[in-house]
Amino acid sequence: MHNEGESPRETTAPDSAPSSSGLLNDIGQFGRAVRRLFGAQLHLLAAELGLARSAVSWMLLAGLAATVAGVGLGLTVLGLLGVVLATWLGSWIWALLVLAVLQVLFLLGAIALFRRCMHWMSLPATRNEWSAMMRDTLQQAETGIRTGAVPGDGKEEQP
């Protein structure tokens, strides 16, 4: 028959099917590439979140600095106005009294503006819009609780 070390397939037909180890190597390379890609994306996301956290801290610090600078500027302007009034009126008492009256007028104007804004919020159309908005929010929350979706996660039902 045949020689023991020789098979008819080895001598006559070349291997036409791709080897399974080549396919496994390709799948392994694809898996490593996907892992590197998502690892890089996660690293980038972590860096962006760190920057955002730092930005919030710096924004709060900048807001505090702006508030302190604004109060300081207001006090400086009031002091300069007091000196000018004292020079013009010839008396520190009259200058401080005029400054006090100006501050009271400014305070009353701010209170009147606040009250006007509160009045606008209490108008019937605004009240109806506010109550409708609260009803819609409550309804969405109840629907989310029934379906198991958390409001704001994108899984809640769209009307």
pLDDT tens digits along 88-135? 999 999 999 999 999 999 999 999 999 998 888 777 777 788 788 888
> How high is the pLDDT of residue 42?
81
Residue 138 tokens, joined:
């409550």
**Using alpha carbons only, what angle is made at residue 157 by residues 151 and 159, rounded to the nearest 5 degrees?**
115
Kindly report whether the global pTM for this prediction surpasses the value 0.75: no
* Mean pLDDT score, 147-156: 59
